[in-house]
Amino acid sequence: MATTYVKPAKGIRKVSAIIAVAAANTPEVLYQRTTGGTNPRTVILRKLMIYNNTGANAVVTVGVGLGVAFAAIIPPVYSTNLFDNEWTEDDLPVDEVGVDDDLTVQATVAGVQVQAEVEEIGS
């Protein structure tokens, strides 16, 4: 029986602004997905870049939703004070489906700098 493979996604790469997390343990928008076309696009996280010079180690979580609706889309990552961290496609879960929402982020320490690279699927 033939094996079926999922085709690689065909999207365009975009990046978020570099944000400094405003408040500890409070989700905020990291990447605002594009909704100006006929249908909103789907967002796939492809790279995560973090720099932490807050004076304390931090746990950073990327997800969707704000407030109590926040839901992680990857496990929390640990950001060591005065270190930079990059999680690339090799490190992130393979995802050819994505999320139909803005990406949000929360960190246990305010001031952690975060940027996401995404692939947007749409038209």
Partner 1 sequence: MPALPQLYPYKAGPIEPIVLPGETVGVWVNKRYTFFEVLYIEGITRSDPLEFDFGAIAAQALTAVLPLALLDMPNAEFAQYRAAVIDDISVILYQGRADQRHKLGSRVATYTKYTDLLDPDGHSGEFYVFEQEHAFGQAGNQTDYPITTARMVFWGFRYVLQELKQWTWLSKLPTVWTRVPATAHL
Q: How far is the CB of 10 from partner 1 (least distance, A)?
A: 6
Closest CB to partner 1 among residues 29, 59: 29
Work out the end-to-end distance of the chain between its first and last CA atoms, rounded to an integer number of angstroms: 34
Length of the chain: 123
Q: How far apart are CA 28 and CA 56, in angstroms?
A: 20
d(CA 46, CA 74): 11
How far is residue 41's CA from residue 37's CA, in Å, rounded to a whole number?
8
Instruction: Kindly determine how many residues on this chain lie close enough to bind partner 1 according to the rule CB under 8 A.
Output: 12
Closer CB to partner 1, residue 85 or residue 102? 102
**Residue 93 is a binding residue for partner 1 (CB under 8 A):** no
Q: Does 122 bind partner 1 (CB under 8 A)?
A: yes
For residues 17-36, which are near partner 1 according to CB under 8 A? 32-36
Residues that bind partner 1 (CB under 8 A): 10-12, 14, 32-37, 122-123
